[in-house]
């Protein structure tokens, strides 16, 4: 964890203190269930609390010098302070039961912080995209002018990528909501699956269906890949940012402080250093993700080769990704978008970007496609050779086309002139924005006074509550429908119906309240079961 690339909240999750705290959380849940099942007296919890409070990481580290094993050191230190109740601590557990279950807790919490940083970034991108729906810039493929487009759409494309990353992160949270207390090789030799379930329920985790000594490491690869989708999105945005900021373009500039300096030697410099930093950090994330994917193939029921890798890669991947997303959010918020530079650049190629429209107009007028293509190309290439040396007029392409008798005759000068109107390239914008954000620019402006995380559907939190009848309650409707499916010739074995509630909340709200509401109202425990998921 590099100090300058970390933020305190995420850093604290991966501190030594938090590590021990998360172990304590699991040990405490284990003790609570021992009490519930009558195996330990009720006072064990407070005895544990006091013992744990009296210790600090340095005590565990000192003990580890003797034991050479971190969990044993922790259990021994706390257990000794619990006096004659010490033997209840960690009873029947293997170290990985505590280590991996607590690691799931910390990973899930970290992913939640990542979603918060992503939320801010997505909000900022949304604001800037809607600000610039009518800002026309040149779209470039291969770095070469292609066709005009709205700069808002450029940002919408970046937003959409972050939106996908957001979904991936949410899924990763689900993938990491698993714990294990199944013992040395996952066979429950010291306790039962029911006991494990009770402990894990207290931690809001599900039991790993079949664990080895550890939770399978492919889960962490899924997490790394979700983080990658976010940081790669940052990488693409930052790369574009660096291009936009180049002297020849100057279309978008990084925020530059009054006392900021660009270069120790050249006072004129305003460098896109934030974006460059982000591109660099994105490379480190790809490295950490690679490291974590090396961890899947452990020997038999587990070896410990993954541990050293995780001690480095997990804190670093989270702390760095969190820093990147937050820095990128600030960059998006503060970047200076310069429509006038975009206009200037757009016309630098003399309107060549209209070539396809001219081609289409010629073909529509009845000209053979190959003939038309070659005609337009010959006029265009004449111009494109001179673009870099500024030897052409703003609408050179139009002028040259009008000079060409054949083109003028076939298409007509009014129509030709019309093809150079850039507004034509903004027509699909409402549809695209509706697809990406769930709201058109017009609707967005109409709801001017509403907070962005409320009015933009893509930024809202969506919670899905699924309610279904318990497996042994007869689902009469489903049975009737299933019969009809069979009668229609489908090999249907069974069918059950579910009821889904899709709840939209402001993007920054905490979905836990819906857990409570669903458990109190949306389902009836006598006949139904339910599941609450965040799906956006």
Partner 1 sequence: MKKTLLPVFPGTNCEKESLLWIADNLESKAEFLDLSKHSTLKADDIDAIFVPGGFSYGDYLRAGAIAARSDEMAFVKKRAVEGVAVLGICNGFQILCETGLLPGALVKNITRRYHHFPVSIRIETAYINKSNSNKKCVWIPEFNENEQEEVQKEFTTEFSVPMSCGMGNWIAPVNESDKNIAENNAVIYYNHNENGSYKSIAGITNQAGNILGMMPHPERASDSAVGGVDGLIFLLGISQSRNIKIRAGSELEKFAEKIKMGRTH
Give contact residues for partner 1 (rule: CB under 8 A).
469-470, 473-474, 476-477, 479-480, 521-522, 524-527
Q: How far is the CB of 476 from partner 1 (least distance, A)?
A: 4
Helix (H) or strand (E) holding 504: strand 498-505
Alpha-carbon span 87 to 434, nearest angstrom: 61
* Minimum CB distance to partner 1 smaller for 227 or for 482: 482
Minimum gap (Å) between residue 469 Cβ and partner 1:
7
CB-wise, 98 or 469, nearer to partner 1? Answer: 469
Q: Which of 80, 89, 98, 86 is nearest to 32 (CA)?
A: 89
* Residue 143 or 471 having the CB closest to partner 1: 471
Cα distance between residue 171 and residue 168, in whole Å? 5
C-alpha to C-alpha distance for 438 and 458, rounded to whole angstroms: 6
Active site residue 22: no
Q: Which is nearer to partner 1, 341 or 481 (CB)?
A: 481
Would you say 333 or 528 has its CB closer to partner 1? 528
- Cα dihedral 453, 456, 459, 465 sign: positive
Per the CB < 8 A criterion, the answer to whether 183 and 97 are in contact is: yes
Distance in Å, CB of 41 to partner 1, minimum: 24
Q: d(Cα 416, Cα 410) in Å, to the nearest integer? A: 10
Q: b/e map of 435-451 (b: 16 or more CB within 10 Å)? A: ebbebbbeebeeeeeee
> What's the DSSP call for residue 392?
S
Closest by CA position to 527, among listed 506, 496, 503: 496
- Residue among 12, 56, 263, 519 flagged as catalytic: 263
Which is the catalytic residue, given 142, 264, 268, 300? 142
CA–CA separation, 381 vs 163, rounded Å? 40
> For residues 396 and 357, is the Cβ–Cβ distance under 8 A?
no
Of the pair 144, 527, the CB lying nearest partner 1 is at 527
Residue 450 or 477: which CB sits closer to partner 1? Answer: 477
Phi, psi at 423, each rounded to 5° = -55, -30
Specify the residue, 38 or 525, whose C-beta has the smaller distance to partner 1: 525
Nearest Cα neighbor of 179 from 165, 167, 197, 194 is 197
Q: Is 142 a catalytic residue?
A: yes
DSSP 488: T
Check: CB of residue 273 under 8 Å from CB of residue 264.
no
The Cα–Cα gap between 331 and 125 comes to 10
Q: Annotate 107-135 with DSSP letters as a single string.
A: HHHHHHHHHHHHHHHHHHHHHHHHHTTT-
Q: Which is nearer to partner 1, 53 or 499 (CB)?
A: 499
Question: Residues with Cβ < 8 Å from 528, sequence gap 6 or more?
Answer: 467, 468, 469, 470, 473
CA angle 172-529-32, nearest 5°? Answer: 70
SS3 353: helix
> Cα separation of 90 and 87, whole Å?
8
Active-site residue list: 142, 263
């Amino acid at each position: 964890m590099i100090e300058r690339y970390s933020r305190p909240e995420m850093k604290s999750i991966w501190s030594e203190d938090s590590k021990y705290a998360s172990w304590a959380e699991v040990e405490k849940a284990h003790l609570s269930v021992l009490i519930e099942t009558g195996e330990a007296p009720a006072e064990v919890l407070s005895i544990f609390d006091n013992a744990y409070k009296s210790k600090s990481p340095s005590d565990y580290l000192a003990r580890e010098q003797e034991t050479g094993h971190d969990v044993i050191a922790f259990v021994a230190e706390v257990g000794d302070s619990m006096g004659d109740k010490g033997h209840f601590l960690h009873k029947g557990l293997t170290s990985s039961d505590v280590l991996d279950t607590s690691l799931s807790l910390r990973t899930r919490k970290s992913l939640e912080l990542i979603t918060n940083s992503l939320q801010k970034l997505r909000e900022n991108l949304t604001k800037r995209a809607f600000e610039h729906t009518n800002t026309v810039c040149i779209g470039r493929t291969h770095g070469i002018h292609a066709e005009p487009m709205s700069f808002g759409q450029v940002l919408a494309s970046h937003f959409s990528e972050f939106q996908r990353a957001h979904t991936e992160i949410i899924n990763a949270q689900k993938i990491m909501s698993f714990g294990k207390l199944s013992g040395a090789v996952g066979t429950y030799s010291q306790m039962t699956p029911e006991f494990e379930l009770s402990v894990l329920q207290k931690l809001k985790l599900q039991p790993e269906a079949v664990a080895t000594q550890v939770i399978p490491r492919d889960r962490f690869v899924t997490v790394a890949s979700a983080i990658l989708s976010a940081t790669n999105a940052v990488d693409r945005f930052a790369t574009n940012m660096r291009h936009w900021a180049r002297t020849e373009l100057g279309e978008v500039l990084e925020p530059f402080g009054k006392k900021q300096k660009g270069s120790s030697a050249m006072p004129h410099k305003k460098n896109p250093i934030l974006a460059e930093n982000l591109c660099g950090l994105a490379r480190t994330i790809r490295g950490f993700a690679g490291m974590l994917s090396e961890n899947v193939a452990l020997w038999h029921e587990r070896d410990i080769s993954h541990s050293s890798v995780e001690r480095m890669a997990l804190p670093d991947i989270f702390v760095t990704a969190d820093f990147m997303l937050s820095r990128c959010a600030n960059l998006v918020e503060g970047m200076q978008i310069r429509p006038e530079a975009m206009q200037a650049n757009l016309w630098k190629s003399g309107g060549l970007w209209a070539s396809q429209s001219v081609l289409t107009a010629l073909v529509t007028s009845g000209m053979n496609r190959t003939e038309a293509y070659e005609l337009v190309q010959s006029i265009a290439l004449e111009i494109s050779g001179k673009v870099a040396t500024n030897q052409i007029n703003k609408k050179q392409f139009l002028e040259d086309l009008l000079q060409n008798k054949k083109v003028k005759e076939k298409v007509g000068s009014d129509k030709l002139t019309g093809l150079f109107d850039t507004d034509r390239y903004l027509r699909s914008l409402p549809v695209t924005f509706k697809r990406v954000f769930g709201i058109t620019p017009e609707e967005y402006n109409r709801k001017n006074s509403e907070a962005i995380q409320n009015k933009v559907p893509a930024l809202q939190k969506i919670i899905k509550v699924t309610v279904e009848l318990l497996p042994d309650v007869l689902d009469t409707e489903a049975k009737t429908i299933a019969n009809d499916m069979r009668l229609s010739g489908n090999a249907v074995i069974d069918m059950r119906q579910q009821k889904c509630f899709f709840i939209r909340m402001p993007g920054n709200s905490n979905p836990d309240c819906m857990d409570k509401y669903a458990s109190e109202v949306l389902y009836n425990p006598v006949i139904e079961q339910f599941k609450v998921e965040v799906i956006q």
